[in-house]
Amino acid sequence: MRIAIGRVFAELNHFSPVPTTLRDFEAMGIYYADEIFQHSAEVWEIDGFLEEARGARDVELVPTMSARAMPSGRMDAETHDFLKGRCLEELRRVGQVDGILLALHGAMSSDDEYDFEGDLLATIRGEWGENTPIVVTLDHHANITHKIIQAVDALAAYHTEPHLDSFETGVKAAKIMFATVRGQAKATIRWRKIPMIASGNLLAPEGPLGPFFAEAEEYEKQEAVLAVSIFPEFPYADTPELGWSVVAVTDDEPGLAQEIADHLAKGIWRKRELFLPEGRPSPRQAVEQALAIDGGPVVLGDYGDNTAGGATGDSTAVLKELLGRELGGKAMLTIVDPEAVIQAIKAGVGEVVTMEVGGKIDTLHYQPVEVTGRVEVLTDGRYSSLLGETTMGSTAVLEVGEIYIVLSELAGPNVDPGIYRSVSLEPETAKIVLVKSAFNFRAYYGAFAKGMMVVDSPGVTAQDLPSRADDYQLAPRPLFPLDEDTRFEI
């Protein structure tokens, strides 16, 4: 069998003032045809597809395209048209296939289309017809829509937070695809939407989501159950189908699939209070608590300015709390600020400059802060993150006493130490390290951090959803926890 594979992936934040553009996808690399295989180690779902195909002599995987971006707001029309158009062109280019296996996110949108994945999949289904199986993997931060469910034969999503099982999710989806094409399984999909969103503790397995993922995995041990996926959704997307979902795929057992989806959905709804925002330290409290810890590094997760969730990366909330304090070691942080980078380049390495940094993009939540520091390093911003090769554009490091500010043109992933190491800063030797991540950083810093905490900081990914209830224009209401009168009955 010939199976077309590909990937289009980003988590787009509707509250960000900055559109996601083609440049953001190019910065992380857009790959075509065989290039995808060369970069498969960066795309773990595709690595999972490859692994499952290796053991099957009757399978030929045909690569199409792979694109991924550090997210900002909804895509502009040009980017939307490019991604959708190229994805379809590449699928047409590879000719006759027996199935289409894609790694998607589920929270992509543009100015004109709030459901990029649903629209893309419906178009593929329309062109390739009912007899070509379509199976997708999704991030569990997907907002599942009717269009997605109607267009696919099956789907599978991550079961871990941080997401460490992308590879296993790829293997699972490939197994379903190959069994379907061989006529060994008849994928049957059922789902249940839950009228709730969440920004609280989603850690799994140790957080409140853990038992639900464990239950999903128990179901998956049954022979007739192919995949059970729980979607705690992406709350910073204002769409008509915003909300948690549970999706179950069985082998020709529609009743069982619906029963599983309903059972898990009811259980999650009963425990909904567990997913409310937790009491987390403010930026000031976080810095004070970090300084009270003996040694370092203490890693602070900037919840409100989480660039992996589409935030702008130009927060000064933590910087303000660091300035003027005796830190007893280095503090490292990143700020997206193209103007400041230009000023640093003009000054040159070794020169001392006074400038305003940060707070120029998301002007609703941040203000610029004046600092005086020495330009330590200038780079082109290329670096190797654990998420792959990427660039943050022109980059400068400003040394302000004990504080090292990495100023960059673009927001690159600041989840693992790669971003700091690329500019000759070593997080292991720091007292405080700021990461632009709410949960995923734990997987990369846990081995050597003296402390890790998530900061209740401001920004377009702030955890306090109820306070922004009025910002949602399209989302279905009532919706927990925005509306007290939300009910859920099956």
Site residues (CB under 5 A) for Zn ion?
139, 141
Nearer to Zn ion, 197 or 396 (CB): 197
Cα–Cα distance measured from residue 434 to residue 419, given in angstroms and rounded to the nearest whole number: 11
Minimum separation from the CB atom of position 203 to Zn ion (A): 12
Residue type at 324 in one-letter notation: G
Nearer to Zn ion, 139 or 409 (CB): 139
Nearer to Zn ion, 140 or 431 (CB): 140
Cα–Cα distance measured from residue 311 to residue 272, given in angstroms and rounded to the nearest whole number: 26
For 463, counting Cβ atoms within 10 Å of its Cβ (0-12 exposed, 13-18 middle, 19+ buried), the class is buried
Residue 281, CB-side half-sphere exposure with 13 Å CA sphere? 17
Minimum separation from the CB atom of position 142 to Zn ion (A): 8
CB 412 within 8 A of CB 383: yes
Minimum separation from the CB atom of position 163 to Zn ion (A): 6
Nearer to Zn ion, 141 or 431 (CB): 141
Closest residue by Cα to residue 385 from 344, 354, 426, 413: 413
Nearer to Zn ion, 84 or 141 (CB): 141
Distance of CA 59 to the CA centre of its chain: 30
- DSSP, residue by residue, 353-376: EEEEES-SSSTTT---EEEEEEEE
Nearer to Zn ion, 228 or 257 (CB): 228
Minimum separation from the CB atom of position 229 to Zn ion (A): 13
Cα–Cα distance measured from residue 337 to residue 356, given in angstroms and rounded to the nearest whole number: 10
Minimum separation from the CB atom of position 309 to Zn ion (A): 8
Minimum separation from the CB atom of position 237 to Zn ion (A): 12
* DSSP category for residue 297: P
Q: What angle do CA 427, 428, 429 make, to 5 degrees?
A: 90
Cα–Cα distance measured from residue 317 to residue 335, given in angstroms and rounded to the nearest whole number: 11
Nearer to Zn ion, 203 or 327 (CB): 203
Minimum separation from the CB atom of position 67 to Zn ion (A): 17
For 324, counting Cβ atoms within 10 Å of its Cβ (0-12 exposed, 13-18 middle, 19+ buried), the class is exposed
Minimum separation from the CB atom of position 191 to Zn ion (A): 19
Tokens 């992308």, located at residue = 166
Cα–Cα distance measured from residue 476 to residue 485, given in angstroms and rounded to the nearest whole number: 13
Contacts of 195 (CB under 8 A, 6+ apart): 243, 476, 478, 479, 480, 486, 487, 488
Tokens 């600041």, located at residue = 414
Closest residue to bound Zn ion by CB: 141
Nearer to Zn ion, 357 or 415 (CB): 415
Nearer to Zn ion, 75 or 405 (CB): 75
Largest CA distance in the chain: 70
Nearer to Zn ion, 366 or 444 (CB): 444
Cα–Cα distance measured from residue 160 to residue 78, given in angstroms and rounded to the nearest whole number: 34
